[in-house]
Amino acid sequence: MTKLRFLLMGFLAVFAIVIIRLFFIQVLFPDAQQDYLSTRKLIPQRGRLFDRNGQPLVMNQLLYRLFFEPKLIKDAEKTTYSLAKLLDLEEASISSKINPSKNWVAVTTGVTKEQKDAIVKLNLPGMGFDDMWNRYYPDASLAAHLSGFVGKNDEGTDVGRSGVEGFYNKDLSGLPGLIRSDVDLQGKPIFLGTQERIDAEDGRDLYLTIDKSVQKIVKDKLVIGMQKYEAKEGCAIIADPNTLEILALSCIPDYDPTTYFDFSNAAFRDTAISDLYEPGSTFKPLVMAAGIEKGVIKPETKFNEDGPVKIGEYTIQTWNNQYEGNITLTRALEKSSNVGMVFVGSKLGKNNLYDAIQMFGFGSLTGIDLEGEVPGYLKKKSDWYPIDYATATFGQGIVVTPIQMIRAFSSIINGGKLMRPYVVKELHGEEIQKVEPQVIRRVISEKTSDAMKKMLLATIENGETKYLKPKGYQIGGKTGTAQIALEGRYDATKTIASFIGFSPIKHPQFIGLVVLKEPKSSQWGSETAAPVFFEIAKELIVYYNIAPEQL
Amino acid sequence: MKNMYQDVLIGIFLLALFGNITIFISSMKISSEIHTFEQKTFTLKQENIQLEKEMADSESFVHTKEYKDKWGFHSATKPIYVGELQYALNKK
């Protein structure tokens, strides 16, 4: 009995010690910083972006934030000197952070793993690192407007801005997870305590329709062209006219998405989807197609181009004020005759012309999966004056976005289908979600489309300008030169030069639009935007291994 | 009989104590292993991401350009494109 009592007393003594110790820790001297139930948010990895061939466009990288716990720093001078050397920072900026009155001070962000390892090796007390996920762009700003960038919202969390990052932010962000666990004094989990874990769900990887090589070609040629023709801004889009997959899209000036904070908001604006311009003569084939579709004209229909046309108090001339008399409408398109287009407009009628503009999707969103698209502007039918109907036939007095233009033009060469342009081909998460081409409506018949392709081929073959196009290859297209309206008047010295073209003729594999704003060396689209397009087309023909149509 | 009862009780006590200590120690070990594996998994994830980044770098145009400059590729070494098909067709 004595032994048992002794054992019992022993147990009671140990139990009392534990209870008293717990009372001291939890009631008398609770340590606010010591939380035994640790709750940690698991940050999901943001989805990556790849091109159509699986080449990486946007990746993730782990960088670090270096912080000080100034109260624990023993040798401030050594710490300052060593860090300044390793991080290439000013000593003064580091020493100013060593403020012993503070518990925690952030020193710098963007510390690489190599730098972190070197700092850890120094074994200096009073500093630590926080993990920070960052976006990494292997090809720098190659596709800046397409990809967009990842900024911070008001709460300081990552959020996609503009382009694909903005449009697919929810898919790319994923879902954060959570760990709740009892931990010991060393921060290690206590197996028998609370253990809850909800895994984070990483964001979905996106495979774009973009081809990185085509993007590179387009951007390089656009930059060279802009420098050559001294243009203020430039934009080029290449798409597959049969599916309206965007193969390349580049607008200059652009920005570096890694250092987006060094750029103004204007730089983030993707002019291909957010800026409006007057398409000028590139609009003519659309009106011509509408006329042929309605059966009111044919490519071989003749009209008498005998001089300027008067609409009320306005006079409409040809671009060079020269007139060829009795010519076909194919010839009118070849020589880009404004007078000829007024004739087509008169045959089509006001209502049909307005309906055709709407039918081709102007004044409404194309639905492209990029953040920041604007629908453009189409005046109400009741607000149109007779001169508006006349000028609209040759693309003046009407505003469009480049993406609307390429969509409408694709429809007249792909057999008549107006489609939704898109840049994301596949979303890879737990399942693979494929995005299929989407036909919105039929706008013209295949017969009209074939006729238009022949007319557009003739426009390049017999137009006023002889282009340096690849020998043996057939390219169709149309130039455009629109004066820029300033304070209600057109300034003849400032133009938007554009060219829209495609190849091959029989089964078009690519369509391209080049828009140059205010080129200085020449105001004409045929002398600025068109050569840029042909430079791109030459490279694409080789890249896609397209066979010549005539040798 | 009474002594035997006491011995059994003490035995059960000691067994329970020993069992408790064993469970406590093994739970500490498991906790420690969980911690180690979590850290290792995280390190592996970091290494994977670093390798992915290096792979992306090596396939990038920026990297290609560096080597282009290093190896002296310039306009004179460019191939002749289809604009001058006569070369390919031997019609020079």
In angstroms, the CA A190 to CA A43 distance is 22
Best of B8, B66, B82, B92 to disrupt the A interface by mutation (most A CBs within 10 Å)?
B82
Q: Where are the domains of chain A?
A: 40-138+169-203, 212-543
Contacts within 8 Å (CB) and 24+ apart, A156-162: A158/A46, A158/A133, A160/A371, A161/A260, A161/A268, A161/A371, A162/A268, A162/A270, A162/A370, A162/A371, A162/A372
What is the pLDDT at residue A503?
A: 93
Task: Say if B80 is an interface residue toward chain A (CB within 8 Å).
Answer: no
Question: Do the domains A40-138+169-203 and A212-543 sit in the same CATH topology, yes or no?
Answer: no
What is residue A156's DSSP assignment? S
Evaluate whether the domain defined by A212-543 bears CATH number 3.30.70.3450: no
What is residue A300's DSSP assignment? T
Q: Are A376 and A401 in contact (CB under 8 A)?
A: yes
Cα dist. A281→A99, A153, A286, A319, A332 in Å?
Answer: 67, 43, 10, 10, 11
CB-based contact B82 A470, cutoff 8 Å: yes
What CATH topology corresponds to A40-138+169-203? Penicillin-binding protein 2a (Domain 2) (3.90.1310)
Q: Which of B9, B31, B61 is opposite residue A188, by nearest beta carbon?
A: B31
In angstroms, the CA A370 to CA A237 distance is 14
Best of A136, A191, A471, A538 to disrupt the B interface by mutation (most B CBs within 10 Å)?
A191
Q: What number is the average pLDDT over the span A170-177?
A: 93
d(CA B91, nearest CA chain A) in Å:
12
Chain Cα centroid distance, residue A411: 22
What is residue A417's DSSP assignment? E
Q: What number is the average pLDDT over the span A8-22?
A: 90
CA-nearest residue of chain A to B59?
A: A55
Which stretch of A35-39, A400-404, A416-420 has the lowest confidence by average pLDDT?
A35-39
Spell out which residues of chain B touch residue A192, defining contact as CB-CB under 8 Å.
23, 27
- Greater confidence (A88 vs A357) lies with A357
d(CA A1, nearest CA chain B) in Å:
8
Spell out which residues of chain B touch residue A140, defining contact as CB-CB under 8 Å.
62
Residue B86 has pLDDT above 60, yes or no: no
Residue A274 has pLDDT above 90, yes or no: yes
Q: Are A285 and A529 in contact (CB under 8 A)?
A: no
Residue A223 has pLDDT above 60, yes or no: yes
Task: Say if B49 is an interface residue toward chain A (CB within 8 Å).
Answer: yes
Task: Say if B51 is an interface residue toward chain A (CB within 8 Å).
Answer: no
Task: Say if B36 is an interface residue toward chain A (CB within 8 Å).
Answer: no
pLDDT interval class at A112 (50, 70, 90): confident
What is residue A361's DSSP assignment? T
3-class secondary structure, A368: coil
Task: Say if B28 is an interface residue toward chain A (CB within 8 Å).
Answer: yes
Residue A229 has pLDDT above 60, yes or no: yes
- Over residues A197-207, the pLDDT tens digits come to 888 899 999 99
> CB-side exposure of A226: number of CA atoms within 13 Å?
21
Q: What number is the average pLDDT over the span A510-518?
A: 95
Spell out which residues of chain A touch residue B56, defining contact as CB-CB under 8 Å.
56, 59, 136, 138
What is the pLDDT at residue B92?
A: 46
Residue B89 has pLDDT above 70, yes or no: no
Residue A57 has pLDDT above 90, yes or no: yes
CA-nearest residue of chain A to B9?
A: A4
CA-nearest residue of chain B to A541?
A: B82
- Over residues A343-356, the pLDDT tens digits come to 999 999 999 999 99
Tally C-beta pairs within 8 A across A and B: 83
What is the pLDDT at residue A318?
A: 85
Q: Which residues of A56-85 are buried (b: 16+ CB within 10 A; e: fewer)?
A: bbbbbbbbbebbbebeebeeeeebbebbbe
What is the pLDDT at residue A413?
A: 96
Residue keyed to tokens 């750029």: A263
